[in-house]
Structure 1
Amino acid sequence: MGLTSRKVLVLAVVCAVLLFIGTVWLWPRLARRNWRAVSGRVGLLLATQLALFVSVGLGANQAFGFYASWADLFGKETAQGVVVDHTALQGAGGPLHVVETRRVDAPGGAFLPQSVGQVQRVEIVGRTTHIATPAYVYLPPEYFQPRYRTRTFPATVVLTGYPGTAKALVDKLNYPRTALELTKKGRMKPMILVMMRPTVAPPRDTECVDVPGGPQTESFFAKDLPDAVLAHYRVGKKPGSWGIIGDSTGGYCALKLAMHHPGVYAAGVGLSPYYKAPSDPTTGDLFQGNGTLRNEADLWWYLKHRPAPDTSLLVTSSKIGEHNYKDTLKFIDQVRANNSTRIASIILDSGGHNFNTWRREIPAALQWIGGRLSGG
């Protein structure tokens, strides 16, 4: 049974309840002061506490999507996301291959893609970077309707945080369902969503950087990913057709990619982002002594020393609960000093660095980014 399986969570909860009942039931028999009784009490208490801890941890992981599997949890994933040779896959179906399809979980009982759209699980291979990664693609109902058969649609890349799971964007943050509801209410034009992790070379956190001698992550998102999607779906090819949105690490990546590549991403949204690539055990040495690369990964430095990018940015934070609040206000002021870059924000009175906060921000963020993209 997988880490995110509901059966695993139920089993852990049942074990915790049974251990609690067993502790209460057996406690009188273990009230003596000999070593066996003391050992029994200690063992029951430890087992009960461990079961409670596991239950809470599994519940939190299901709610927030921190880890996708037991291997992910224990750091046993290998760097198989970076693939050197994909000639066979490209020859069979191009750089994007559809693995599975599912309907959008929407009220009303509709099942047809023409009514609720479709979510496709895909595998993407970068032609130039040789990075291979899974993703989920949301296609709106209009994509399948005859009257729109010749129409192209705007597209937005949606990124998780680190480590994150792409599936959480579908099932926990509800991006497809939110996009469907906004479109039906006339608050957003139909839009394709490409949902994935920024961690395309797991388990390493590459911070969307072209690592010298390592994964060329920024090039993958700036070149290979749009090319793969354009080759498979009816996405607009003209400037202004693409946006990017992400939370936490994905938020930093979204802002950086929009700033570094305004010709690709006309708009970028950072939900609870930070503004400078960290350096820690999960990232390793991202820059290999390259000062220019390090500087350009620092959005503060980039705003001061590079021409103002012609793109639109949206940042979010909370007055209480988010550590990036002061930095976000500072970033807004610094962007406003650049004539070519537009900046907007969502500032909540309170909200932590979690899924609940981002679910409150996603509808407005999707509506905002949709209003800045064209599908032609």
Structure 2
Amino acid sequence: MGLTSNKVLVLAVVVAAVLFVGTVWLWPRLARQNWRTVSGRVGLMLATQLTLFASVGLAANQAFGFYASWADLLGKETDPGIVVDHSAHGSTGGPLQVVSTSDVPGVRASRPETGGQIQKVDIVGRTSHIATPAFVYLPPEYFQPQYRTRTFPVAVVLTGYPGTAQALVSKLNYPRTAQQLAKDGRMQPMILVMLRPTVAPPRDTECVDVPGGPQAETFFAKDLPEAVLAHYRVGKRPGSWGVIGDSTGGYCALKLAMHHPKVYAAAAGLSPYYKAPIDPTTGDLFHGDKNLQNRADLWWLIKHERAPDTSLLVTSSKVGEHNYKDTLKFIEDVQATNVTRISSIILDSGGHNFNTWRREIPPTLQWISGRLTDR
């Protein structure tokens, strides 16, 4: 049974309940002062507390998508073969392969023409040679006869680190929210391409082209759009593409639009930060390349390079988010360019978590929809 399985969570809760009842029932029998009874009391207390902590941890992991598997939790995803090198001629079906299809969670519809569809796909970068899974949301209009010649705008949606792409579908509810907003006429029908920014797990590449390592930025700026364009009816013009992300994904979203405004016309960073960190999860991202390090710093970028012609949205909370002051400063610096357009969502309170982002996702989708074209 997998780490995120409901059966594992139910089993942990049941075991915790049984141990709690057993402790209450057996405690009088273990009241004597000898080493056997004392050991019994200590053992029961430890076992009960461990199962309670395990239950809470499993529930939190399901809610927030911290770890995708037991190997991920135990740090066993350390195989150095993190970048899959496929030759351009090695794939028989193109850079994007559909693995499975499913209905949109939470949407009552019997056909994709009425409820849309989720496609699980595998993507292989022609240039970066990075391979990664993703989920693609296709709106109902994509399957309707009257739209058969229409192209659709695309929003790439990124998780935080470590994050799971599945959480974007089942926890943050991007497809269901997009479907409902379009149905209500509050945004245009859009295709969502949902994945982790961690395209070379377990390493956190911060969407950087690491010298001698994973070419993550190239994947998102070149390979991913090419793969999606080759498979779906999507807009080919720069104004047809946007990118959204939370936390690490939010930083990546902003950076991708600022570095590649001809690819991404708009970017939304939910609870983002503005400079790539260097820590044990990232390793050495820049290998002494000062220019690469500077360009990964959005503060430096907005002050020292030509302001990009793109639209940015940033979010934070007055209470509960550590990026509040940084976000206000970033807004001020971007405004000073008079070129890059900046918008914001500032909540009175809200932590760095799924609940906060679920509050921000509907207006974010409306915002980005209004800045993308379908051609």
TM-score by length of 1: 0.98
Paired residue type of 1:372: R
The match for 2:45 is: 45
Paired residue type of 1:172: K
2:351, 2:9 → 1: CA distance?
24
The superposition leaves residues 267-313 of structure 1 with CA deviations (integer Å, 9 ceiling, x where unpaired) of 00000000000010000000011111111100000011000000000
2:164, 2:90 → 1: CA distance?
24
Within a 5 Å distance, the mapping from 1:11-160 to structure 2 comes to 11-77=11-77, 78-86=79-87, 90=91, 92-107=92-107, 109-160=108-159
2:277, 2:187 → 1: CA distance?
35
Cα pair distance change 1:88/1:238, threshold 3 Å: closer
Within a 5 Å distance, the mapping from 1:292-371 to structure 2 comes to 292-371=291-370
Contact 2:160/2:249 (8 A) holds in 1: yes
Contact 1:118/1:138 (8 A) holds in 2: yes
Alpha-carbon offset, residue 250 of structure 1: 0.1
1:113, 1:81 → 2: CA distance?
35
Alpha-carbon offset, residue 86 of structure 1: 4.7
2:168, 2:342 → 1: CA distance?
25
1:327, 1:238 → 2: CA distance?
33
The match for 1:257 is: 256
Paired residue type of 1:83: V
The superposition leaves residues 298-341 of structure 1 with CA deviations (integer Å, 9 ceiling, x where unpaired) of 00000110000000000000011000001000100010001110
Alpha-carbon offset, residue 85 of structure 1: 2.3
Which secondary structure does the structure 1 equivalent of 2:238 belong to?
A: coil
Which secondary structure does the structure 2 equivalent of 1:243 belong to?
A: strand
The match for 2:242 is: 243
The match for 1:3 is: 3
Cα pair distance change 1:88/1:4, threshold 3 Å: farther
Paired residue type of 1:52: L
2:189, 2:82 → 1: CA distance?
31
Contact 1:81/1:132 (8 A) holds in 2: no
1:85, 1:264 → 2: CA distance?
24
Cα pair distance change 1:337/1:133, threshold 3 Å: same
2:73, 2:200 → 1: CA distance?
16
Contact 1:244/1:269 (8 A) holds in 2: yes
Please report the RMSD computed on the Cα atoms of aligned residues, expressed in angstroms.
Answer: 1.0
Alpha-carbon offset, residue 29 of structure 1: 1.1
Q: Which is worse superposed, 224-233 or 28-37?
A: 28-37
Paired residue type of 1:82: V
Alpha-carbon offset, residue 80 of structure 1: 4.4
Alpha-carbon offset, residue 87 of structure 1: 5.1
Contact 1:79/1:203 (8 A) holds in 2: no
Which secondary structure does the structure 2 equivalent of 1:22 belong to?
A: helix
Paired residue type of 1:40: G
Which secondary structure does the structure 2 equivalent of 1:240 belong to?
A: helix
1:279, 1:374 → 2: CA distance?
37
1:254, 1:110 → 2: CA distance?
32
Alpha-carbon offset, residue 105 of structure 1: 2.3
1:240, 1:295 → 2: CA distance?
27
The superposition leaves residues 353-375 of structure 1 with CA deviations (integer Å, 9 ceiling, x where unpaired) of 00000000000000000000001
Query: Gapped runs of 5+ residues in structure 1?
Result: none
The match for 1:175 is: 174
Which secondary structure does the structure 2 equivalent of 1:289 belong to?
A: coil
Paired residue type of 2:110: F
Alpha-carbon offset, residue 31 of structure 1: 1.0
Contact 2:96/2:124 (8 A) holds in 1: yes
Contact 1:240/1:373 (8 A) holds in 2: yes
1:118, 1:89 → 2: CA distance?
29
Alpha-carbon offset, residue 142 of structure 1: 0.5
Paired residue type of 1:39: S
Task: Tell me the percent identity.
Answer: 77
Q: Which is worse superposed, 79-88 or 217-226?
A: 79-88
Alpha-carbon offset, residue 50 of structure 1: 0.3
Contact 2:88/2:126 (8 A) holds in 1: no
Alpha-carbon offset, residue 21 of structure 1: 0.7
Cα pair distance change 1:79/1:150, threshold 3 Å: farther
Contact 1:254/1:268 (8 A) holds in 2: yes
2:192, 2:234 → 1: CA distance?
11
Cα pair distance change 1:18/1:88, threshold 3 Å: farther
Contact 1:89/1:95 (8 A) holds in 2: no
Alpha-carbon offset, residue 88 of structure 1: 6.6
Contact 2:105/2:169 (8 A) holds in 1: no
Alpha-carbon offset, residue 89 of structure 1: 5.4
The match for 2:197 is: 198
2:225, 2:98 → 1: CA distance?
16
Alpha-carbon offset, residue 110 of structure 1: 1.5
1:121, 1:71 → 2: CA distance?
22
Task: Count residues with an aligned counterpart.
Answer: 374
Which secondary structure does the structure 2 equivalent of 1:93 belong to?
A: coil
